[in-house]
Amino acid sequence: MAVGLALAGCKTGSQAQQSPLSLRAGDQVAVVDGKPVTYGDVEKEQGGKLKQAEVKALTDLYDARRGAIDEMITKRLLEEESKTKGKTVDQWYQTDFLQSLPAPSETELKQLYEQHKGEVGGQSYEQVHDRLVQFMKQQKSREQLTAYLDQLKQKHGVQITLAPPNLPRVEVAAKGPSRGPDNAAVTIVEFSDFQCPFC
């Protein structure tokens, strides 16, 4: 039974289902009164909305894939580095990494307080001191960890080979009001929303 299910999932050639994001204008998507409706027909009526949805879907998918790749690379690099020191990643982070971070200076803390004075509800520097220290430590740890990971990526020759999505292109006809010669070195195109309620 397991073999049958595995084989049922292996479709080849024309049996393989096409990705819903890769529809072509001539692809049939429906039939009405025996007449085919192609994706091109639908695009003519709903083009802008469908293009936006396609761009968003492709971009979201790429971002999710890229995030997963970055997460896996980070995990592998940190596991490898902590293993060379005979520790787990958590042990390395708590002992080696966090302990190596310099404590924020009073000057840094006072600058931070002055920058965000309006956001602390009138509390004095002394009242928010501990929270400022915690915030600065978190900020420094993020910055240092990012810099450390960049070093590890160089050391281990990390290359991201995932190609960005091939987003659909929108052809804009070169017609309408214009100034200057058609073969100008620089072309400026302005898009405006004439339905803006504030205009």
Q: What is the mean pLDDT of residues 88-112?
A: 90
DSSP conformation class of 10: -
Whole-number pLDDT of residue 38: 92
Whole-number pLDDT of residue 11: 44
Of the ranges 47-56, 66-75, 82-91, 172-181, which one carries the lowest mean pLDDT score?
A: 172-181
Say what the pTM is: 0.64
Of 135 and 170, which is predicted with more confidence?
Answer: 135
CA pair distance 68, 163, nearest whole angstrom: 14
CA pair distance 114, 78, nearest whole angstrom: 36
Find the largest Cα–Cα distance for the chain: 78
- At residue 6 the predicted structure's pLDDT band, cuts being 50, 70 and 90, is very low
| pLDDT(172) > 70 | no
CA pair distance 77, 158, nearest whole angstrom: 10
Say if residues 37 and 29 touch (Cβ distance below 8 Å). yes
- What's the alpha-carbon Rg for the chain, to the nearest Å? 28
Of 104 and 192, which is predicted with more confidence?
Answer: 104
The mean pLDDT of the chain is: 83
- At residue 9 the predicted structure's pLDDT band, cuts being 50, 70 and 90, is very low
| pLDDT(15) > 90 | no
| pLDDT(17) > 60 | no
Whole-number pLDDT of residue 8: 41
Nearest to 92 by CA among 73, 76, 79, 104: 79
The percent of residues above 90 in pLDDT, for the chain, comes to 41
Whole-number pLDDT of residue 194: 66
Helix (H, G, I), strand (E, B) or coil at 8: helix
